[in-house]
Structure 1
Amino acid sequence: MRNLPAFTLAGYEKGRGKLVQALWFAVLNTVFMAWFCPAALRVALLRAFGATIGEGVLIRHRVRVLWPWKLTIGDHSWIGEGAWLLNLEPITIGAHVCVSQEALLCTGSHDHRAADFRYRNAPIVVGDGAWVATRATVLAGVTIGRHAVAGAGTVVHRDLPDLTLQTADGRRPVEEPV
């Protein structure tokens, strides 16, 4: 039987104090996600709040990042419009990665077996050259391999090996990129 009032944040570290968290939420919701905010400013804001962002990164509008200080993005990667990086734990995105529109990378979960519904969070890693297509969901603890593709609308709940395509109807190899 679930006992939700027993839930606590035990074992979960946000990584910054309440003032920095509040400041980030203010920036996120007034400037960062806005259509008029230049992509270069989005990158600068993430870096100012502790993210490690490579060169030539493009972050579109309506992107949500829970904690910038738990985010690493490699060179020349794209984060598409409306993507949600729900990073209670670290998210590491390699170089030349495309995270498409409205994709969700979610490092948070709960232990469904525990009455207190405690957190069961884990980091996400997206390898170089991978593509997380539109509205794909990548769950806590998953590694997306190099040049792998999480197809549109798929839910990736276990590691996706290098050069693998996952679609709603299964997994298959993809050709080596040129």
Structure 2
Amino acid sequence: MAETAVPPDAGIRTGPPGHRAVVERSLRGFTGAGYDKGRPFVLQAAWFAVLHLVFVKWWFPARWRPAVLRAFGARIGRRVLIRHGVRVHWPWRLSVGDDVWIGEGAWLLNLRQITIGHDVCVSQGALLCTGSHQRLSPTFEFDNGPIRLEPGAWVATRAVVLRGVTVGRGAVVGAGAVARRDLGPGEVVTGGGVA
């Protein structure tokens, strides 16, 4: 999780020795520099309309969700099950392998690419968040990064995978846990732990 350097005296105050620097935020100055949504505004608006009016609804057939995502630029494999309440920020930044399950209420906040390998389970209420901010930037500029879930990985209920993280083959982010660093093949973080 590399942080971009900020210029000296750019809204950072230091306290007495042994204390942490305090960043004086000025969110009004936020520019979003370097972030490209990847599609024209009309397509973004069309996706948000489809997402909120149809895609997330309980009555919309699960078998149609992969086709809708494909229509908006996602690469979706075969036999993918996407339950109701699943939110995908930008379909064109999503790649899903075969035989993947995405549970009710999961949120794929993909300001950058999310790549999900085959035979992966993303359980109910899980969050895959590719977005972040530079904590030392007074204007809180973006610090986004892609997420990769390798084949056989499991992101359990209400677990969180943060930007820039790869969850290795067969690795598990247990219920309520937070993955903020890469997990190796077969590695497990559970019990609300932070990896």
TM (norm. structure 2) is 0.86
Letter of the aligned partner of 1:37 in structure 2?
F
Count of residue pairs the alignment pairs up: 172
- Secondary structure of 1:138's partner? strand
Please give the residue correspondences for 1:32-43 in structure 2 after superposition, counting only pairs within 5 Å. 32-43=55-66
Please give the residue correspondences for 1:68-147 in structure 2 after superposition, counting only pairs within 5 Å. 68-147=91-170
- Secondary structure of 1:119's partner? coil
Q: Output one character per residue of 1:63-97: Cα deviation in whole Å (capped at 9) or x when no partner.
A: 00000000000000000000000000000000000
The whole-number CA distance in structure 2 between the counterparts of 1:2 and 1:16 is 30
Q: Output one character per residue of 1:101-141: Cα deviation in whole Å (capped at 9) or x when no partner.
A: 00000000000101110000000000000000000000000
Structure 1 residue 169: Cα displacement: 6.7
Matched, 1:44 2:67: yes
Structure 1 residue 168: Cα displacement: 3.1
- Secondary structure of 2:63's partner? helix
Q: 2:182 aligns with which of 145, 159, 178?
A: 159
Letter of the aligned partner of 2:70 in structure 1?
R
Q: CA RMSD in A?
A: 1.3
Which residue of 2 is the match for residue 9 of structure 1? 32
Gaps of 5+ in 2: 1-23
- Secondary structure of 1:125's partner? strand
User: Would you say the 8 A contact 2:178–2:193 is kept in 1?
Assistant: no
Runs of 4+ with deviation above 6 angstroms: none
Which residue of 2 is the match for residue 64 of structure 1? 87
TM (norm. structure 1) is 0.94
The whole-number CA distance in structure 1 between the counterparts of 2:152 and 2:192 is 23
Question: 1:138/1:38 Cα in 2 relative to 1: closer, same or farther (>3 Å)?
Answer: same
Question: 1:28/1:170 Cα in 2 relative to 1: closer, same or farther (>3 Å)?
Answer: closer
- Secondary structure of 2:79's partner? coil
Letter of the aligned partner of 2:114 in structure 1?
I
Letter of the aligned partner of 1:167 in structure 2?
T
Structure 1 residue 9: Cα displacement: 1.7
The whole-number CA distance in structure 2 between the counterparts of 1:42 and 1:169 is 31
Structure 1 residue 170: Cα displacement: 5.5
